[in-house]
Chains A and B, each alone.
Chain A
């Protein structure tokens, strides 16, 4: 085994040394066509921008949906039956069932939560808020990522999304009027910009003035340590009619499915378009380089280069351009997005190391795919071509 391993290492070292110490026609060809290569790399960077933006938007919203549910720190979410509680299918529950819930076996704590959209005018501009009224006694459903000010509210106080503050010139210590009721801004929260609405946090008592009398949207449940989530869900659904109990994970998934479900195909489509643009850009460059140098490939064939040796040149060219493009794109695009977010705070994009790895792999894949047509062209080049005068 060790002999085999040493053999493989020795072979690989030999291959690497060969590559280092042989004349690279691919690299020289590219160095000879600097302007074409520069334009192509520019195209690939744009392609990376499109891909990272789309995937990053999806990631940002997906994470935010998770935070909206898991950040509430509840084990179970209780909704009216058939409603996920999202914008599209609001849940309404009578506040009176809180006592019933508290008495169910396995339930240790129950808190009501209001989450409802509300259109308001701020600085004469119509703004959609997503009110989050939580029980300040338990803290369940409160803000999960406060970046400035207090992380808890009292009656008459409000924590608002930071992008809303940035856009409307609001700040901690200032006031915000919602439906003729004044709130003092006590904190700013992050990752609470839903693109179509901004989350704001207030006490349950303040929030219920914006909802029908005697109702709430959810109950958040903490489960006793001696019970499984499934057992308690079963207990709740068998004790109360017209309610659904779901774990935080399932509720988050339902949220994502409903809110992002319509957007995800668009994200994927645009990401695919970005990728295709990248392949097209490299493909055009390689095709043009191949055709410009068709006779030179014929010369190489005439002097004894085999087809695989020539394919390697084309593949090397493709990989150099694509990897260079994707690496430069990966370096340039994240700070570019950060700069854009300063001017457009709603532009929520999250870029993760996995995405960067994915983009790098895409670079390699793009290079391989883009080299297919030029390789086919080269296969058809007749080495006898070199006997025709230039």
Chain B
């Protein structure tokens, strides 16, 4: 791949040898290591990789929340290096929408106010902001829930409010960090469907960091991140958790055996759920297919 810098306005995101190091000297950890990447306008990228591979740091670099230790991050043609905090805030406010692992809604505000407040920050106020927030929530299927507080909404509903909030200022880029991690299978599928619709209907650039394999189908491109570097293909060191379908390192010590096979889990909770009814999970046909397809 050619990663020469050039002024190409069709690229929403460009990374050139971006490296992020935490700590210093003996305690330093390289979270993102010399990553170069282009994402076109309207493209959907899924970044996969195990926990600790640097996915979240990469999303934070692209989201103007972190500055690279070295290299360049360019958003909509603008290099983030050297920009003031105020300008970085403006980029986050107007050019990027965030969907986090937890919905991260403001607990004192209702669903509509959570969306409205982001519009207010960008200078859209009063009836205009309210109308826009209401329309977005209706699109998310939450027309009847606009005046509910986060505590009165289910996890899936909260995540849909978060997606509406991410879309509020009509940003070109949506960054999602593990958007389905805290959701059950059905709600996770709902969120995936929503993201797919947004990408198709609104032509947004969507970058999703996840280790949820279900999201792969959504992507124009799937990137594999391991030890802070982007790899061309899957590593052989990973396998799928049969309960939550997340990627798990084969060296994970959270394992159990059933009918002569070894199963690896991302958490002890998944292992416990598996052990409660191993047949229900172990005999799911697609699990083996996924593992085979992965490599």
Contact = CB atoms under 8 A, between A and B. Distances in A.
B66 interface: yes
Given A23-B109, A387-B56, A303 B98 contact: yes
B51 to A, nearest CB: 11
B108 A32 contact: yes
Interface residues of B, number: 40
A18 B107 CA distance: 23
A384 B85 contact: no
Contact of A28 (B109, B118, B177): B109
A384 B66 contact: yes
A113 B89 CA distance: 78
Contact of A23 (B63, B66, B85, B120): B120
A383 interface: yes
Interface in A2-29: 17-18, 21-23, 25, 28-29
Contacts of A63: none
A302 B104 CA distance: 11
A21 B126 contact: yes
B100 A386 contact: yes
Interface stretch (A278-286, A293-301, A326-334, A348-356): A293-301
B121 A309 contact: yes
Contact of A384 (B65, B104, B106, B107): B65
A97 interface: no
Nearest to A305: B121
Nearest to A297: B106
B247 interface: no
A302 B129 CA distance: 20
B122 interface: yes
Interface in B159-183: 165, 169, 177, 181-182
B59 A387 contact: yes
A386 B108 CA distance: 17
Nearest to A27: B108
A390 interface: yes
B108 A387 contact: no
A28 B129 contact: no
A23 B113 contact: yes
Contacts of B116: 22-23
A25 B117 contact: yes
Given A22-B129, A387-B100, 7 more contacts: A295-B104, A296-B107, A302-B65, A303-B93, A304-B90, A386-B102, A386-B104
Interface of A: 17-18, 21-23, 25, 28-29, 31-32, 293, 295-296, 299-307, 309, 383-384, 386-387, 389-390
12 contacts: A17-B125, A21-B127, A22-B117, A22-B125, A22-B126, A23-B113, A299-B105, A299-B106, A302-B100, A304-B93, A386-B98, A387-B59
